[in-house]
Structure 1
C-alpha cells in the first residue's frame, strides 16, 4: 500500500541569523554581565557578614553618571546620522562621545581621590575595596569602548561608515549603550549598598 504525499506550498522559514561579529559581541556582553552579577552578589553576601565600612558615595560619581548618560545621547546621534549618511554629524557625534568617555574616566579617578581623602582605601575593609573593584573594572571596559569609538571615527574619515555599512556602527552603539546602562546599574547599586 502506497501513500501519496502532497507537498504543501509553505513559506520557507529563515533560521535566526546573526553576524558572527555581532554574536561575539553579545557573548562578551553576557560575560561582562555575569562578572558584575558575581561581584554584586559577593558584595551583598560579604556585607551581611558584618564588619563593613560605611562611607559616603563620592560626589564626583553623580557627575560621571550624568556624563555617561549624555554620552549615550551623542552616541545615538552618531548612529542615526550614519543611517542618514550625514558623515560630518557622525564625525562630530563620535568625537563628542569619545571626549565624554574620557571625561567619565577622568571623573572616576577624581572619585578615587575623594575616596582616599575620606579614608576609604582599596586595601583594608572589603566595604571600601568593592567600590574600587566596581569602578575600576567598569573603567577598563569603558577604555575598550573608547578604543572602539576611535576605530569608528577613523573609519568615518575613510568613508567606511554609511547607511549601507552599519554593522560596526550598530555594534559600537550597542556596546556603548550597554556600558552606560551598566554604570547606571552599578551607581544605583552602590547608592543602595554602601
Structure 2
C-alpha cells in the first residue's frame, strides 16, 4: 500500500512538471544515453592503439576544461543573483557564462587541430575518431544551451529597462524556472565533459 502511494506521488510530481521541464529532462535522458553509447563504443575501440602513440591530451582540451569548470561556478551565480534580485549581476554572470562557453568551444576546435598534429586523424584509428565525435557531440549540446542563454539575456535585458517589467521578471515563477533549468542543464553538460576528459586522459 505504501509503495502504491509512493508511485502515485511520483506520477503526481511528473504531472505537475511544466512542459519545458518535461522536455528538458527527456532531452537530458536522451543525451545521456547517446553519450553512454558513444563512451562504451570508445572503450571497446582498441584504446591501446591510442596509448601506444605516446601522445598527450591536447593542451587546448586542458585549458577548455578549466574554463568550463569556471563557467559552472558562473552558472551557479546566475541563480544566486536572481534570488538576490540583482538584475545587473544576473545579466553580467549570464553574459560571462556564455563567453566562457564560447571560449570552451573555440578551444575544443583548436584541440582537434592539435590531435591532427599528433597524428590522430578523424579517419584514422577508431579510438582517435571517437575523440572527435565525443567532443563534437558535446559541443553541439553546449551550443544549444548558449543559444538559449543568448535569447534569455536579450529578454532579461529588455525587461530590466522598465520598472514594471523588472518587477514582473523578479516575481514571475516562469522566469525563475527558466533560469533554474538553464543552470541545471549547464551543470549537466559540465559533468558530461569532465567524465569524457578524464576518460581521454586515461586513454593516452
1:69-122: CA deviation from partner (whole Å, max 9, x where unpaired) = 100111111111112211000110011001100100111011111111111110
The normalised TM-score by structure 2 is: 0.83
Unmatched segments (≥5 aa) in structure 1: 1-12
Q: Which residue of 1 aligns with 2:5?
A: none
1:169-191: CA deviation from partner (whole Å, max 9, x where unpaired) = 11111111111111101101111
Aligned length: 180
Q: Which residue of 2 aligns with 1:170?
A: 180
Unmatched segments (≥5 aa) in structure 2: 1-8, 160-164
Structure number with higher helix proportion: 2
CA RMSD of aligned residues (A): 1.7
The normalised TM-score by structure 1 is: 0.87
Q: Which residue of 2 aligns with 1:6?
A: none
Structure 1 runs of 4+ off > 3 angstroms?
A: none
Post-superposition offset of 1:193: 2.6
Q: Which residue of 2 aligns with 1:40?
A: 39
Distance 1:130 1:174 in 2: 27
Q: Which residue of 2 aligns with 1:124?
A: 124
Considering only CA atoms, is the larger Rg found in Structure 1 or Structure 2?
1
Distance 2:143 2:120 in 1: 24
Does structure 2 retain, via aligned residues, the 8 Å contact 1:68–1:100?
Answer: yes
Post-superposition offset of 1:46: 2.2
